[in-house]
Amino acid sequence: MNDYKVDIAVIGGGPAGMAAALEAKKQGAGTVMIIERDVELGGILQQCIHDGFGLHRFQKRMAGTEYAQVFVDDIESSDIWVLTDTMVLEVTQDRVIYACNNRDGMVEIRAGAIILAMGCRERTASQVLIYGYRPAGVLTAGAVQRYINIEGYLPGRKAVILGSGDIGLIMARRMTLEHIDVQGVYEVMQSPGGLTRNIVQCLDDYGIPLHLSTTVTKIHGKKRIEGVTVARVDENRRVIPGTENYIECDLLVLAVGLIPENELSIKAGIELDSRTKGPVLDNNFMTSVPGIFAAGNVAVVFDLVDYVSQSGEIAARGAMKYLRGQIHETPKYLKTIPAGNVNFVVPQRLVAGCACRTQLFMRVKSPDKKAQLVCGEGQAQIFQRKYPFVAPPEMISCTVDVTGTGDVTVTMKEGENHG
Ligand SMILES: Cc1cc2nc3c(=O)[nH]c(=O)nc-3n(C[C@H](O)[C@H](O)[C@H](O)COP(=O)(O)OP(=O)(O)OC[C@H]3O[C@@H](n4cnc5c(N)ncnc54)[C@H](O)[C@@H]3O)c2cc1C
């Protein structure tokens, strides 16, 4: 077994992991190692050849691959160790990482602090209830993205998309450009799951219909998918009899949600948040296990990669504080409390007495117009901002100065269109 001892080990070489490793170096870390199961750094951005990345960070529209390359170049010109083609199998509470690869077999890495940056994965056909067989031609949007953009395969000729998550919307446009006939996007909810800009740029601009309150109820075909039945649903998501419609297709693309990759976190005994499905974090992005931090989509599924990179930097600064002994092993915590139309807030807790500037990330429960965000610490109002439009797919971020003396309540007050 090959052994390593490092100051900071980062698991995952996507945008979160790369930003974390670079920030750790900037903050003066000695040995920093990225462990990545793929053969190259970049994470999921390697298959994102469309633009729209980096608007906040670089004030320009970049392809996902271009965005990733900026960080890859910086890592290549640094002394950060990169172990690619290496799969992490286990992380222990005393910060030992067990991994394996073809070169060394088992690898043991002892780290002063660990940053989890394993990203997220897509919900699959087995996680959504659809009657019928599971023939060839039922694929997640991410798999279709990989087949077309990296492997060079055409996965079908006539497609139906179930779910209006961002990857599905982006793939509706991409498939159209590859001459796949996209019949439509079918979304069970009353409002879209993806960003407004993607509805406009990927569906409206290409004349692809979006059918809200509609779902796929049956998959037809045994070996290869031959078609699907779609039907309208009521406000309780029950199928409305008599609205069924058969659509011929040889590809069903699923864009039905993303979940943080949390197997390693669960095995390490890290407390998870039932709403974000990622670890419960404090303002340093430290998990419930001292010295283990989390960033990017493994922490909470972000909408913009710019936020993903920022979260990596927050976790890296936290990890450096931990290494310098500036974080108590068992800190006393205050809570961030979502209220009104706010569904969840990350970080979920703040170190008592932290007296710091903290970035909060949140999503709302339902779309609204002219809403107002108000943050209060104890009795004091510490932040307020008006939003012309808020919707669950669009993450909201604000920076607040907290004294660390009381819980912080984060309220999105009702606007014109609530409910
Ligand atoms: C299929 C898919 C397509 C997407 N497409 C878009 C898009 O088009 N536009 C957009 O804005 N956002 C897209 N996203 C969202 C995208 O994930 C984020 O914008 C961002 O890339 C997340 O960064 P990350 O570093 O948190 O995760 P990732 O980019 O997913 O990186 C995580 C890395 O961790 C590695 N890893 C995981 N587990 C282990 C392990 N056990 N051992 C070692 N390494 C491990 C993975 O191989 C991966 O390289 C997509 C997400 C998915 C899942």
Q: Tens digits of per-residue pLDDT, 155-168?
A: 999 999 999 988 99
Question: Facing residues of 357 across strands?
Answer: 401
CB distance 261 to ligand 1 below 6 Å: yes
How far is 143 from 147, CA to CA, in rounded Å?
Answer: 6
- CA–CA separation, 364 and 386 (whole Å): 14
| Phi, psi (rounded to 5 degrees) for 196 | -55, -40
Does pLDDT of 395 surpass 70?
Answer: yes
Identify the residue with better confidence: 127 or 373. Answer: 373
How far, in Å, from the CA of 330 to the mean position of ligand 1?
31
Spatial separation of the C-alpha atoms in residues 30 and 180, rounded to whole Å: 50
Q: Which residues contact 371 (CB under 8 A, 6 or more apart)?
A: 341, 364, 386, 387, 389, 390, 412, 413, 414, 415, 418
Q: Whose CA is nearest to atom 30 of ligand 1?
A: 119
How much is the pLDDT for 417? 66
CB of 170 within 6 A of ligand 1: the answer is yes
Predicted pLDDT at 414: 84
The residues, ordered by sequence, that sit 6+ positions from 157 with a Cβ below 8 Å of its Cβ are 180, 181, 250, 251
Angle at 250 between CA 245 and CA 254, to 5 degrees: 75
Distance of CA 254 to the CA centre of its chain: 17
Mean pLDDT (whole number) for 52-58: 92
Q: Over the stretch 13-28, which tens digit does the pLDDT of each residue have? A: 999 999 999 999 999 9
Measure CA of the first residue to CA of the last residue in the chain; give whole Å.
58
Q: Is the pTM value of this prediction over 0.85?
A: yes
Which sign, positive or negative, has the C-alpha torsion 56, 60, 66, 69?
negative
**Ligand 1 close to Cβ of residue 258 (< 6 A):** yes
DSSP summary character for residue 47: G
- Spatial distance between the Cα atoms of 370 and 388, rounded to a whole number of angstroms: 4
User: Atom 4 of ligand 1 has which residue's CA nearest to it?
Assistant: 167
Nearest to 321 by CA among 368, 352, 285: 285
What pLDDT does 127 receive? Answer: 65
Q: How is residue 21 written in tokens?
A: 């490793």
* pLDDT reported for residue 390: 94
Instruction: For residue 44, report the distance from its CA to the centre of ligand 1, in Å.
Output: 4
What is the C-alpha separation between 398 and 406, in angstroms, rounded? 18
pLDDT score, position 73: 98
Reported as a pLDDT band with limits 50, 70 and 90, residue 350 is very high
- Ligand 1 pocket member 33 (CB < 6 A): no
Residue nearest to atom 3 of ligand 1 (CA): 142
- Percentage of residues in the chain having pLDDT higher than 70: 98
φ, ψ at 73 (rounded to 5°): -60, -45
**Token code pair at residue 98:** 């067990």
Alpha-carbon distance 244 to 69, whole Å? 47
50 token code pair: 């469309």
CA 113 → CA 65, 85, 225, 323, 376, distances in Å? 29, 22, 48, 7, 32
Is the per-residue pLDDT at 131 higher than 80? no
How many angstroms is it from 107 CA to the middle of ligand 1?
A: 23
Contacts of 232 (CB under 8 A, 6+ apart): 213, 214, 239, 240, 243
